[in-house]
């Protein structure tokens, strides 16, 4: 019996009808009465992503679990960085938090 895979994807404001990023990794922390924080490692064939179209914008990371159930993590991009280029794809790193986090900045 083949091993089932965990499927990850991300939806962003720059997708323009086609997913621009592949969600390669997601790490995060969340707790009761706490504000969540997730770090995403994204891969894209586009090495010229406009950061202004992402930072401060809402994105959704989706995890499709082994049993087929989906978990959606909706947040605002609070940090976005460009990483390495491997000759084909560029790695990006994004941090997402809930919109409520922005109220803590004032």
2 located within any domain: no
Number of H helices, E strands in the chain: 0, 6
Q: Which residues of the chain have pLDDT under 50?
A: 1-2
86 located within any domain: yes
User: Which pLDDT value is given to residue 101?
Assistant: 83
Task: Give the total number of structural domains in the chain.
Answer: 1
Residue 56: domain span: 7-105
| DSSP string of 52-64, one letter each residue | GGTTTSEEEEEEE
User: Which pLDDT value is given to residue 1?
Assistant: 36
d(CA 3, CA 77): 33
User: Which pLDDT value is given to residue 16?
Assistant: 79
- List the CATH number of the domain containing 63: 2.30.110.50
35 located within any domain: yes
37 located within any domain: yes
User: Which pLDDT value is given to residue 98?
Assistant: 94
The pTM is what? 0.85
45 located within any domain: yes
């Amino acid at each position: 019996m083949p091993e089932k895979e965990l499927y990850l994807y991300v939806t962003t404001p720059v997708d323009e009808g086609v997913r621009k990023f592949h969600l390669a990794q997601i790490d995060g922390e969340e707790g009761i009465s706490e504000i969540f924080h997730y770090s995403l490692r994204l891969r894209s064939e586009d090495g010229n992503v406009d950061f202004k179209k992402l930072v401060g914008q809402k994105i959704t990371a989706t995890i499709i679990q082994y049993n087929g159930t989906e978990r959606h993590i909706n947040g605002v991009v609070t940090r976005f960085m460009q990483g390495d280029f491997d000759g084909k794809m560029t790695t990006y790193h994004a941090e997402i938090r809930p919109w409520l986090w922005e109220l803590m900045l004032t």
